[in-house]
Amino acid sequence: MSALICGSFAYDNIMVFQDRFKNHILPDQVHILNVSFLVPEMRRQFGGCAGNIAYNLKLLGGSPLPMATVGSDFGDYAEWLDKHGIPQNHIKKIDSEFTGQAFITTDLDDNQITAFHPGAMQHAHANKVADANGVKVGIVAPDGRDAMLQHAEQFAEAGIPFVFDPGQGMPMFNGEELAHFVDLATYVTLNDYEWQLLRDRTGLSENQVAERVEALVVTRGGEGSDIYAGNEHHQIPSVKPEAVNDPTGCGDAYRAGLLYGFEQDLDWPTTGRIASLMGSIKISHHGTQNHSFTPEEFKEQFQKAFGYTY
């Protein structure tokens, strides 16, 4: 049985400006802004929420089944997925579009200027949850707006438990729409900032959200995470990473840990700790899919971190 991962695939183009933006942007002239930054360093990496979650779930020994739309330039990414045994049955290519692209320029103060081209993501609603067989659990991760709305409804109609993970897609939805997602979902997972936004937009309290779903999961970075399931509150500790190199994709790694716990029917404390350790491993590496381990190696790290195994 697989985890159907509805979300984006994207190329992350990361550039480093060897100076500070503030030295080249005149505050009193921003209405006629015209600047160019020389970026001698650039790296192109595989990303997108569906791609990242699928990669991490596969590392754990899970069964990811990504569902997404990609562009005519997806060839390199497709080879990467093949290399790691991640199926592409439900990845649809739109020849007239590019795969989603993020262009991120970082300066020496770690300020960032990002442009995102959604490309083929805008067609993600062409994929249907009902087209996938043998699905045990699903996730609606950031994707095209229509796709997120429709896939949530399709999961609910099919009776497939699923995670609602709005992430950076949160600004696309108003309070009524977000409340509808919560009503449809089996689980809701957000970071602490996204959780505040959802509360502000829907007017729903922590208890009201927790009553509507089987579990509400709120991640808090280095402070760990909280899982509200039924009448229980599980405080999940963070795991000290070997190094803090790149937080990008840590949320996706965490969510892969949740999906693995659902696939294996593990309890909430163990599922949360698997997710927490996944985030710790990811943050130690640059890029979202540059870390690697075997399931056996992960279990050894889990034993070392928490004093028991699963």
- pTM for the model: 0.93
As to burial, measured by CB atoms within 10 angstroms (0-12 exposed, 13-18 middle, 19+ buried), residue 117 is middle
Six token digits for residue 124: 């993600």
DSSP code for 95: T
- pLDDT tens-digit series, residues 49-80: 999 999 999 999 999 999 999 999 999 999 99
b/e burial code for range 157-173 (CB count within 10 A of at least 16 → b): eeebbbbbbbbebeebb
Give the distance from CA 203 to its chain's centroid: 25
Q: Name the packing angle between helices 75-83 and 49-60 (round to 10°).
A: 10
Phi, psi of 286 (to 5 degrees): -75, 140
pLDDT at 285: 94
Given pLDDT bands bounded at 50, 70 and 90, which one contains residue 99?
very high
Question: 2-11+47-98+121-306 domain in CATH 3.40.1190.20?
Answer: yes
Query: What are the distances in angstroms from CA 164 to CA 58, 185, 254?
Result: 20, 6, 14
Banded model confidence at residue 216, pLDDT cuts 50, 70, 90:
very high
Distance (Å, whole) CA 281 – CA 301: 10
Domain boundaries, given as residue ranges, for the chain: 2-11+47-98+121-306
Is 252 exposed, middle or buried, given 0-12, 13-18 or 19+ CB atoms closer than 10 A? buried
